Structure 1
């Protein structure tokens, strides 16, 4: 890639630096160690550009840089140190010499490190990646969990027996198809089921959302939401321990209503009338449950969403 003066000026005009673009003044020199860290962080963020010889604050004046007077040699050293190739381009801008480092993206499912640290951008800083971020990257190279099979060798009857097909159409406010073929065709188009050897495979997505009973799917039984209610303000005595075994979409509204019914209330008096008022609104329960469902690590077996009151 050939970087033009016009391209550099376009980059200079962006509102702020982001994960894929970094400016450094570096009038006389730039620390090798810092350079390696920035390259690793930018690669881990999907690749980008590091420009030396430009102030990092708007209007980002081009001041020129005398760093790395042999870009070819520096590129070779970077490859030896980092294990991936960074192209270094020298551009003679009217404001001075600019070095453009073209940093490639990390491969899918892989993360780069420098001296044992898996780096990423966080505002103006370079920080180690969190465990959640690392797990998400490593999972990129794995098959999509939701498309994997939860139940194989199902005929038409068994699909309808295991999945609450009526709820799907009710939730979307759609009329129920006049025949079973229409139901199965719709579920297939949504990747809830897949054709297999003249029959059907129910995907993890289909089972997690629309299972009548999650325990009918061996690998998903432990994904059922668990609600535990304790007496008092500690966990010494359990008053209720209940599993909600319906698929998440099928059982969501009922689960929210059940939990909200357990929420403590305060008694208030308004205009001489006494009434019970819940300590927090139903929408808070709804958001809590939805976030717990969505943000769990589905690839981990033997774990479930647990709601404790």
Structure 2
């Protein structure tokens, strides 16, 4: 930790008018049982009070808040004869919390700071008993059902976006590390004419948070979206940059023709990345009413949405991996770490579920992806319009992959692709209030009406696979709908 920040933090805590439910000052009382109960109580009380951290401070008088110094050495304090206090405390608290003892050489004396994260997933218990702080008392939480209920209501699961990418940054460092002008442009807000106005807006979207000593914390959300250089932050965040590789052939053994490792935050670099991809894609010629028209091999809307989907829905807690885009001669593969929260076959019709709701919300505000629940519909629809094979949405061990395929006629599609195209077509028809029929599937697959039996065979295979069903068993010609409809 930063020693200057710890001194500023202690001074800010000393400036509080009195001890609080989330703050306690101690002299040299180092009784382990007392510390264990206080850890539980302060963690739970901090969450009730809407604070992210609670603190115990040794070496500060609880009445005057003057620095008196302490002889407490937490790393050498033994409990039960052979276990150091931090390890004993970690084993006694459930669920485990990332508390931190820090010895601070304050200008006025030696101080020990115990920083305690607020409860997140469940009340924090010491030896199986959760406590709460009320005034100067530390009773059992269960003895105060109204406070217990309030704590349960305020408990929130951990959000990676709320973590800190940089602590104790000066205002100048914030403005140098984040492309704040892009934030205002993309969110369509006027750029304030003063620093205070800039910081207020960034803080309102939780891209930065106020720290001690008139400094700032840059959140993971702020860094991953608006970093000028992700490498300026922790290595684990820098590895979340987008990686692009293009191959001369149809597999990874082919020669690499282009490679790009993203350096900027997602919002700052998104438009450039999509433009770079579209510029590399080969073009197909379509004959319109009078002129030949060149179109990219893959629909731009599909690329844009699938890239945004990979950024938004990745599991940020998977270390050493980030979104990856690979361009082959016949397909485009877009993958991201983390298994999806919705089954791939239901991603078109079910509302999306994201681990990164703040990231998703802000990217939608900046119009980098479609409105909630409509993106993948448009991807599948675009593939139909261009008469491309259906996209493949595939969940693997701890990752998700979306594959766009280049143009191939019905005869060149695999049986699985034909069934997937039939299923997706039935889903799109159902979502538009219609039903799939043999004739509409012929149009989707480019089958001439005289060869309608080919579409019938695909429908029968898809029925056997349980992906679709007859809409009305009493009227089989009424059409087909997804099996879950």
TM-score (normalised: structure 2): 0.34
Determine if the alignment matches structure 1 residue 196 to structure 2 residue 211: yes
Relative contact order: is structure 1 or structure 2 higher (C-alpha 8 Å, sep ≥ 6)?
A: 1
Determine if the alignment matches structure 1 residue 220 to structure 2 residue 264: no
- For 1:29, the equivalent position in structure 2 comes to none
Determine if the alignment matches structure 1 residue 284 to structure 2 residue 299: no
- 1-structure distance, mates of 2:273, 2:267: 10
Displacement of 1:279: 2.0
- For 1:45, the equivalent position in structure 2 comes to none
Displacement of 1:274: 4.1
Residue correspondence of structure 1 range 1-309 to structure 2 within 5 A: 143-198=158-213, 199-218=215-234, 219-236=236-253, 237-270=255-288, 273-309=291-327
Aligned-partner SS, 1:223: coil
- For 2:48, the equivalent position in structure 1 comes to none
Displacement of 1:280: 2.3
**Contact 2:229–2:263 at 8 Å: present in 1 too?**
yes
Displacement of 1:251: 1.3
> C-alpha deviations, 1:89-129, integer Å up to 9, x for none?
xxxxxxxxxxxxxxxxxx957xxxxxxxxxxxxxxxxxxxx
Change (3 A) 1:152 1:108: closer
- 1-structure distance, mates of 2:157, 2:227: 25
Displacement of 1:144: 2.0
- 2-structure distance, mates of 1:268, 1:296: 36
> C-alpha deviations, 1:179-234, integer Å up to 9, x for none?
01110111111111111112011000100111111111123110000011000212
**Contact 2:121–2:158 at 8 Å: present in 1 too?**
no
Displacement of 1:174: 1.2
- 2-structure distance, mates of 1:260, 1:192: 30
> C-alpha deviations, 1:224-271, integer Å up to 9, x for none?
000110002121121111112211111111111111222221134446
- 2-structure distance, mates of 1:284, 1:158: 37
- 2-structure distance, mates of 1:258, 1:108: 42
Change (3 A) 1:297 1:250: same
Aligned-partner SS, 1:235: coil
- 1-structure distance, mates of 2:321, 2:306: 18
- For 1:14, the equivalent position in structure 2 comes to none
Change (3 A) 1:161 1:108: closer
> C-alpha deviations, 1:60-80, integer Å up to 9, x for none?
xxxxxxxxxxxxxxxxxxxxx
Counting matched residue pairs gives 174
- For 2:64, the equivalent position in structure 1 comes to none
- For 1:81, the equivalent position in structure 2 comes to none
- 2-structure distance, mates of 1:108, 1:196: 24
Q: Which has the higher strand share?
A: 1
Displacement of 1:276: 2.3
TM-score (normalised: structure 1): 0.53
**Contact 2:121–2:157 at 8 Å: present in 1 too?**
no
- 2-structure distance, mates of 1:243, 1:286: 18
- For 1:32, the equivalent position in structure 2 comes to none
Q: CA RMSD in A?
A: 2.2
- For 1:48, the equivalent position in structure 2 comes to none
